[in-house]
Structures are given as C-alpha cells and as structure tokens.
Structure 1
C-alpha cells in the first residue's frame, strides 16, 4: 500500500533509503547497550561483561566528578526531583546562579539556559527570524542558510523556519557557492542567517571567525551550534567557537551550547552579543514559556560544573584530554578521520555496511564499545565507526583501541595504507 500518494516528506524518504544495518547492530549488541554500572570509561552491561567505551561525549569526565555528584545529591534532598512548571512562574534557586556563572564564562554577553540545545534552536531562531532580537535586526526578510553538515536538530526545523523566510542548504566549504548565495541575498535585500556547527560530530572544525566576517559583509548573521566544542578548549572552557573569535562574541553571531557533553551536566544555553536581548528570549521563547526548568539535581550539578570551569582544575582536564587525543593519533598513524585537529572525535570509514559491522565485532572482541554509524548520518551503503576520546581514558584504553584497529586494518576491512603502530 502506498502511504505517501503525493510528494514524499523527508522522513518517508529517509525510511525508504535506510537499510537494516543499524537494526543488525542492535540485534548483535554492537550498539544500543544497556549499562548497569560504570567506573570511569569502563562500563558493565546488563548481559554481562565489562568494556571500555568510546561512545560518551562527556570529553572531560566531569559527569563523575565528586563536586557534581555532591551538588546533585544535596539538591535532591532539599528540593526533590523537579519544579514542574515554567521557569517564568517558579524557578529553582540554581537557575539564576547558573546563568550568572555562565555570564562570567562568556563575559560581556547575555546567557539564557534551556533544557537542551535543541530547545535553544526551537526557541531562539523564530525570535531571530521575526526581527524580535533587537541586536540582530532583519532587513526586508530573512534567508536561512543551513550548512549541509549542520546538526540534525537544526536541519529538522526547516519547516518551522520557512514560516519566517526562505530556507537554503549550503556548503560553507565551497567559497564560490557561498559568494553567489550571499550576493543573491544582498541583491534581494534579504538578511542571510547561516546555521552551522562549530565542532562537527564527524566533520571536524569550522572556520568560525572567517564565516562571521563573510556574513557580516553581507549584512547577515552566524548561528553556531557548538555543542561538541563547549568546555574542551578556550578560557574557562568557553569552547571552540568562542575562542575562535578571540573570546569576544561578534555582534553578528549567536552561540548555542550544550551542558550535556563535556560540560558534565544537562541542558543547553544560548549566548547573545547584547544582554538586553535576554529579556526577550526569556519572555517569548516557546520552550521557556511552555516548558520547564532542568530537573533540580542536574541543575545543581550544572552550577558545580560551571564553578569548576571558572577554577584552576579546568586547564588540567583540558590538557589531559588533548594528550589523549594526541596519543590516539600517534598509535593509529594519524589515519583516523579528524586526525591532527583539535577535536575529541575520531572516526574510521568503511566502504560497506558489512565491513563496518565486522569491524565493530572485532572491537567488541577487544572489549571495546563504539558508535557504529550508517545512513542517513553518512552516505548510503557506507559505514563509519566514531570514537569519542575523553580525558578519563587511560593510556592502556587508548593502546587497546589502537591494537584493535590494527587488526581491523590487517583484515582488509579498513582502507588505510601501511601498518598501524599500536605499541
């Protein structure tokens, strides 16, 4: 039966084009793990066995930091689990504390906290497109430029964004194409807004400062989702995007960040150039009006994490992360995706889904759990295995991964030249 008699929507197309590779990975317990306990990067699964995981995006290991656990426990005792109402009606004491601390990290900017980075997108972008953020005026109309590698949480909003202006997918790595697009916006008196990741989940780093200047010349804005870049670098762990612009947010940039990855807690936040726009965000952003605050224990943990970011310990955590990233590059001969760049994410690409599944099996035999990736994250028919490196991985963990990848290479599954050094 044809359930889509007219033009197929994007979800129907995705469902049609998706193979059974991910379902096989679940069935073979190569993904979809059920964790019963953990000790740093070593996790025990429900079906038994203890493994080293390279899956979690908590790149600094702060989610197990005693200060965060103590703060969460205290909040649970004094306030329970949740204040289930809009933060505009009743807000936990930790929320203004957190926003003040985030204001210290992003000095001179305005910061507002949401329950997730996706909620930031859903709340802030319609305000921007409606010309309600006074520091970011829109001319005749907005033209959304969604970078082709931007996170799915922004891609999926195309239908919402079309209520405010036309939407185009662009390749920010193609200067000629970008120039033509921006010229079109100038000629038609459109305000271009580029939606892009800072540190891509698989695509490396983006030249944020250069893009901000390029959009500024066209009278437009850059909206950066730096979820993977927060905490791992920058003064006070401000992140990749903020450090790339000299720790001073350009007047034509909005930064969306995550509290749920390297930051160590849970939630998302937005950083705007003019603190005056925060009142508009807090009173008009849909997720803040019709949603709720982050649950109390996690909100308190966020406060503890922010205090760590502002202290001396942050430099040590960042240094250990980058030492581990350097080590994995060394033992794999700089042949992984993203090798040599300041990103905690590495990957190995495979020419077929079957090869990727076989590689994941070998890794599991080495007591290593990873993230196997298939379409629609990467092109149809191919596979990739992503490795998230953390400051809490031991040297033994990393060399164990190097040895497994060497076996995968020797088996002819991974097309890299020459032997890998796992010693």
Structure 2
C-alpha cells in the first residue's frame, strides 16, 4: 500500500469537515509596529489590509512594549537564542529562578515554577498530581489543555455541567472514597468569558477533601489591584492548592507559571514530565516576561482602560440586539448559531477591516458557533464604536440580530 492509499481516510475526513463548515486552515498575519491593537493579514506587505484585531489575547497591549523588547535584546546578545538543555540538565539560568521568585511574591505564594506554555503547564501538572486510581472533576467548558491533561494522567474524568455546583457535589459524593480527588476549573472561561464560582468550589473542596486547581490564563494580569487574578479579588487565593496562569495573554509574551506551596513546586520539579523533558525557555524570553511582570503590576491604567473598553463594546452590541454570552471580561462571545453563518460573518468583517475569527465545534458546543471578540487596552474608543457599527451592518445583512 502506497502513502496516498494509506492516507485516503484523511482526505475523506477533511472533505466531511469542509462540508460541515468545520475545516480550518492557517492564515498568516503580521504585527504593525507601534499599533498592538491592529494587524496585517498576510505576509506583512504594506499594501495588505490593516485590520482592527478583535481576536487576539493581548489584553493589556504589552506585546510591543519598548521596555520588554529592550530587555529581550540585551539578554539575546549576551546569552544567545536558546538555553541549550532542559533546566534539570544544564539549561537552568539564574534569571529563571529570579523570575519564579518574583512571580511567587506577586501571587503571595511560597514558590512558583515556569513552564513553556499553558498547555504544557496544565498537562504536566495534572499528570503529575493524579493517576490511574484517582478522579478529576472538570467543568464542562474547561480548556482543552485541562481535558488532555486528565486523559494523559489516566485518572477518571468526572465532568460536571458548567458552573453547576449541585451536579459537582453529586459527583464528589459518588466518588467520595477515591484515593485522590482534584477539582479543576478555568477562572474565566476562554470561549464564553464568564467566571467560575470560586467560593462554592472552595466549600465543596473542603467538604470532600479534594484538591483545587484554578487556571487563570484569561484572568491573570486583568483582575486585582496589581493584576494578581480572580482568586485574589474573590478572597480565595489561600484556599487554592494549585494556581496556574499564563504569560501569553495579559503579559503579551509567551509561557506559563504554576504557584503554590514549596512542597507542590518541589514535587513538580521531580514529576512534571513537560518540564523535565523539555528544553528550558529561551533566556531572552524570560527577560521579557520579567519586564512584563513589572509593567503588569505598575501600569494600573491598562486594566482600567481594558475594563472600560470591553464594557462599552458589550453595551453597544447588546443595544443592537445581538445574542451575547453572559460575563464581565475582555472576552465577548456573539452567538450566531450555525457554522456557515459564523464563517460568513467573520469573512464579511475582515472585508470591512476587522479581524474577528469564527469559533466552531468542537471548540464550542454544536449549535453555538460564534464570533469571539477579544478586547485590548490598545483599542481606542473610536475604533470600537466604528467596529460596533460595522458589526451591526453585517448582522443586518446576515439576519442574525435580535432587533
């Protein structure tokens, strides 16, 4: 059997995906120096459309900050491009430990550990702390990296209905005699923009003797006086066993961190396979993250502008009659229903200068295809008002508005 024959099933599956408006493809996009809220579609040639980027996660507009770029440049010239080995071999630089100490201080935790990205943090941590005889209770709308971490751990997955504490309580009671129990939740859910019921999760954690892990990927840097996250402003930080966050959203960089007790971090250094068997992060990137951490804590105006932007934008769309997910975060999902309409809506917006990607199953549930708008402190009020007016016109053309 030749290669073409053996992979025939792939062609068939791709054709089925395309017929259902579910096939995806990679589209090039380039940054515009000095305009972190905008992008160029394509290879970055100046004659290509300048788009308002309403699908990025650069929440605080830090991705092009001069101080971060300069910090990275200095270390790049000194250290070179890569670390050359895993941290447990010869790749550990003093700057990594310094960053982890700064993160732990920021989060008011005993210790912290940096991972290459959020996916590796979640899969590495979950696989390290639970195994075949254990059970993990996961919100139905948790990020795919959490689900994959559970599957890789071989622990039993007990998925509870989104933010349904009664259902979670029933599952915890059913598995009350299991060796180890771990509850995992996003703090802000990435496709819906709503928040976890953290206080209720704490009560259930104590009632059933479970561990609690909270993923603050879409809330770290955004909530709290210094951007500490949702757990801090809800007053439950000290009750969370495993606190995870990323540098790829509000920090405008790349990477992730896990905070908790010294015992937890020491355990992960010895057990988290995604840390042990991965080359250390590039030293220059670590320098950029360290500078971003300073900016996140000091430049409070960025959070204030972001809050004003997403609340104003949401208000515009609600008044126009669009169906939006409930929440108070930079993520504003506009539900359009079927996959084809979502694709047509996204394409029409791009033709009018707005990058806003259609989100379809399996990322979201069947029948809830959406345009997931994601706001930034880099957006201006004028840009967002004009964008809302354009969205209204497209909505009228496609017949997806409530009024």
Taking structure 2 as the reference length, the TM-score comes to 0.88
Q: In the alignment, what sits opposite 1:169?
A: 159
Shift of 1:155: 1.3
Aligned equivalent of 1:332: 317
The count of corresponding residues between Structure 1 and Structure 2 is: 384
1:352 CA displacement: 2.0
Question: Aligned runs of 1:159-308 on 2, under 5 Å?
Answer: 159-162=151-154, 165-186=155-176, 188-203=177-192, 204-246=194-236, 248-250=237-239, 252-272=240-260, 274-308=261-295
Aligned to 1:359: 345
> Any conservation in 2 of the 1:233–1:240 contact (CA below 8 Å)?
yes
SS in 1 for 2:389: helix
Shift of 1:52: 0.7
Shift of 1:285: 1.8
Does structure 2 conserve the Cα–Cα contact (< 8 Å) formed by 1:231 and 1:262?
A: yes
Does the 8 A contact of 2:95 with 2:287 survive in 1?
A: yes
CA distance in 1, matches of 2:15, 2:110: 42
Deviation of residue 255 (structure 1)? Answer: 1.3
Runs of 4+ aligned residues of structure 1 deviating over 4 Å after TM superposition are: 12-20
Q: Is the 8 Å Cα contact of residues 55 and 355 (structure 2) preserved in structure 1? A: yes
Task: Measure how far apart 1:189 and its partner are.
Answer: 4.2
Matches of 2:199 and 2:367 in 1, distance apart?
35
User: In 1, are the aligned partners of 2:51 and 2:355 still within 8 Å (CA)?
Assistant: yes
Quick check: 1:68–1:304 contact (8 Å CA) kept in 2?
Answer: yes
1:78 is aligned to 2:84: no
Are the counterparts in 1 of residues 123 and 150 from structure 2 also a CA contact under 8 Å? no
CA–CA distance in structure 2, aligned partners of residues 346 and 391 of structure 1: 14
Cα pair 2:135 2:178 within 8 Å, conserved: no
1:66-94 Cα offsets, whole Å, 9 max, x none, are: 11111011111111111121112231232
Name the CA distance, whole Å, in 1 between partners of 2:140 and 2:17.
18
Which segment is superposed worse, 354-363 or 64-73?
354-363
- After superposition, the C-alpha distances for 1:224-270 in whole angstroms (9 at most, x for unaligned) are 12111110111321112333235x321x5311111111122211111
How far does residue 172 in structure 1 lie from its aligned partner after superposition?
4.6
SS at match of 1:408: helix
Unaligned runs of 5+ in 1: 1-11, 131-139, 419-423
CA deviation string 1:126-180 (max 9, x = no partner): 33226xxxxxxxxx95211122111011112343222xx3222221533332222
Structure 1 residue 45: Cα displacement:
2.6
1:407 aligns with 2:393: yes
Q: Assess if the C-alpha contact under 8 Å between 1:67 and 1:304 holds in 2.
A: yes
Q: Does 1:33 align with 2:28?
A: yes
CA 1:336–1:390 in 2, change beyond 3 Å: closer, same or farther?
farther
- Return closer, same or farther for 1:60/1:298 CA change in 2, 3 Å cut-off: same
Equivalents in 2 of 1:15, 1:161: separation in Å? 33
Shift, 1:36, TM fit: 5.9
1:136: which partner in 2?
none
Distance in 2, Cα, partners of 1:401 & 1:276: 49
TM-score (norm 1): 0.84
Q: After superposition, where does 1:360-379 map in structure 2 within 5 Å?
A: 360-379=346-365
Corresponding residue number in structure 1 for 2:376: 390
Q: Relative to structure 1, is the Cα distance of residues 20 and 92 closer, same or farther in structure 2, using a 3 angstrom cutoff?
A: farther
Partner of 1:4: none
Quick check: 2:323–2:336 contact (8 Å CA) kept in 1? no
Counterparts of 1:235 and 1:14, CA distance in 2: 47
For the residue of structure 2 that corresponds to 1:21, the secondary structure is coil
Contact 2:130 2:180 in 1 (8 A): no
Change (3 A) 1:82 1:172: same
The answer to whether the aligner puts 1:344 opposite 2:330 as a matched pair is yes
Aligned to 1:45, which of 36, 41, 44?
A: 41
**Distance (whole Å) between structure 2 residues aligned to residue 124 and residue 382 of structure 1:** 31
Residues 325, 382 of structure 1: alpha-carbon distance in 2 compared, 3 angstrom cutoff: closer
Task: Report if aligned partners of 1:55, 1:370 keep a CA contact under 8 Å in 2.
Answer: yes
